[in-house]
Amino acid sequence: MTQPDFMKEASLIKDEIIDLRRRIHQHPEIGRTEVETQKLVEGYLQKLGIKTKRIAGTGVLGLLEGGLPGSTVGLRADMDALRIQEKTGVSYASKYPGIMHACGHDAHTATLLGAAKILAAFRKELPGNVKFFFQPDEEGDGGAAPMVADGGLENPKVDAMFGAHVTPDIPVGYIGTRSGKSYAASNPFDITIRGFGSHGARPHKGIDAIAIACQVVGALQLYISRETDPLDSAVITVGTFHGGFQRNVICDEVTITGIIRTLGPEKRKNTVEAVRRITEGIVQAFGAKADIVIHESYPGVVNDPAMTKLASDSIAELLGADKLVAVENPSMGTEDFGIFLEHVPGCFYQAGVANPAKTPTVSLHNSQFNIDEDALPILSAVHAKVAYDYLRGAKP
């Protein structure tokens, strides 16, 4: 059977996808408050005859059942916005002061709705199901984990997951893929170093928490430069350092907070252990004590090689091989799509949205961030084709 012309199908609904994106852009909602977006998504899917279910609070799960038996493929879009005052000056700018879709999640949601419409038209010939994950709260505490915990990957069981992020680093019309480690894992930490107070003139009678904490901060950077393979990146950022209250007093307590970012589960484990070992070793050497709390945040994104090949082949076939970009370096940023990939294989690709002729090329999370909307139907077509190709190729 010949394949649907996904690019043509997407072009036919280009205005509709742009309209959806602008409606969402005008009404941005912070993580866990995506109630309007949730209603819009539900209504749109239901009109297509796709079953919907609320999940993880403000999330939506859509299930498109194909006409033929087969596997189930998941497609994910995040829906939340950021606490940023929009400064793009566009006619469809955010109506809500201090809240903006500056990470392109409006585009993710609109393009996945577009993909749902395209796929729904071919449901009779689909061997298997497509599950649509409209995820809340990517920017906050994370919405992927609650979607998994609420059974999002079950009934029917999801066999593979795909998703995308828009990026100003790639020109519009191009899609980037990368196999393996693609986004960093993050571990926020809180360390309190307890010394002993004394008169500033008699440091030997106290235990100076500031001097010791400075050694800890320096040693953590030494771990990065001397214990980390230069080709296997890790970042330890100490973002806050608080201690002391008077110039002539030996400080008895310092609190430092920061984030460890690593690529891959092994480097994550080693770096978390090192932060603990180095901090404990230094405070012990100087007779102080430390409370070390290291939190587990996002696990990083590790794209499955076979699924990355499948997505890359689909993209090359759809857009032309010259439009497929091999993303050279992983990002030290974070993305909770990786939580799905801890359970099922998949690939998270990058959709180019840059076009300096139309909109300034600034980074994600910038108050002037905007996209070339020509990217929207392209991403809808990519999602639809990747899902279709997965189901066609999957062994029942």
The residues that bridge with 208 in the sheet, in sequence order, are: none
- If the CB atoms of residues 100 and 212 are measured against Zn ion, the closer one turns out to be 100
Residue nearest to Zn ion (CB): 103
C-alpha torsion sign, points 141, 147, 153, 159: negative
Least separation in angstroms between residue 164's CB and Zn ion is: 10
Site for Zn ion in 284-343 (CB under 5 A): none
Site for Zn ion in 74-113 (CB under 5 A): 103
Evaluate whether 182 touches 348 at the Cβ level (below 8 Å).
Answer: yes
Spell out the alpha helix ranges (H) of 173-254. 209-222
- Give the contact letters, 33-72, x = binds to Zn ion (CB under 5 A), - = no: ----------------------------------------
- If the CB atoms of residues 103 and 391 are measured against Zn ion, the closer one turns out to be 103
Least separation in angstroms between residue 253's CB and Zn ion is: 34
Q: CA–CA separation, 230 vs 158, rounded Å?
A: 37
- Give the contact letters, 364-393, x = binds to Zn ion (CB under 5 A), - = no: ------------------------------
- If the CB atoms of residues 103 and 153 are measured against Zn ion, the closer one turns out to be 103
- If the CB atoms of residues 140 and 244 are measured against Zn ion, the closer one turns out to be 140
Evaluate whether 298 touches 290 at the Cβ level (below 8 Å).
Answer: no
Q: CA–CA separation, 81 vs 29, rounded Å?
A: 5
Least separation in angstroms between residue 334's CB and Zn ion is: 9
Express the helix, strand and coil content of the chain in percent, nearest 5 each: 35, 30, 35
With vertex at residue 62, the alpha carbon angle to CA 60 and CA 64, rounded to the nearest 5 degrees, is 175
Least separation in angstroms between residue 319's CB and Zn ion is: 23
Q: CA–CA separation, 48 vs 120, rounded Å?
A: 7
- If the CB atoms of residues 103 and 126 are measured against Zn ion, the closer one turns out to be 103
Least separation in angstroms between residue 335's CB and Zn ion is: 7
Helix H or strand E segment including 255: strand 253-262
Q: Does 7 bind Zn ion (CB under 5 A)?
A: no
Least separation in angstroms between residue 137's CB and Zn ion is: 11
CA distances from 178 to 327, 364, 368 (A): 5, 19, 28
Number of residues that bind Zn ion (CB under 5 A): 1
- If the CB atoms of residues 165 and 268 are measured against Zn ion, the closer one turns out to be 165
Least separation in angstroms between residue 221's CB and Zn ion is: 26
Q: Which residues contact 159 (CB under 8 A, 6 or more apart)?
A: 71, 72, 73, 344, 394
- If the CB atoms of residues 100 and 118 are measured against Zn ion, the closer one turns out to be 100
Evaluate whether 323 touches 141 at the Cβ level (below 8 Å).
Answer: no
Q: CA–CA separation, 256 vs 322, rounded Å?
A: 48
Q: Which residues contact 165 (CB under 8 A, 6 or more apart)?
A: 104, 108, 335, 348, 350, 351
- If the CB atoms of residues 103 and 353 are measured against Zn ion, the closer one turns out to be 103
- If the CB atoms of residues 119 and 379 are measured against Zn ion, the closer one turns out to be 379
Give, as one character, the DSSP assignment of residue 226: I
Least separation in angstroms between residue 365's CB and Zn ion is: 6
Least separation in angstroms between residue 237's CB and Zn ion is: 17
The footprint of Zn ion (CB under 5 A) covers 103
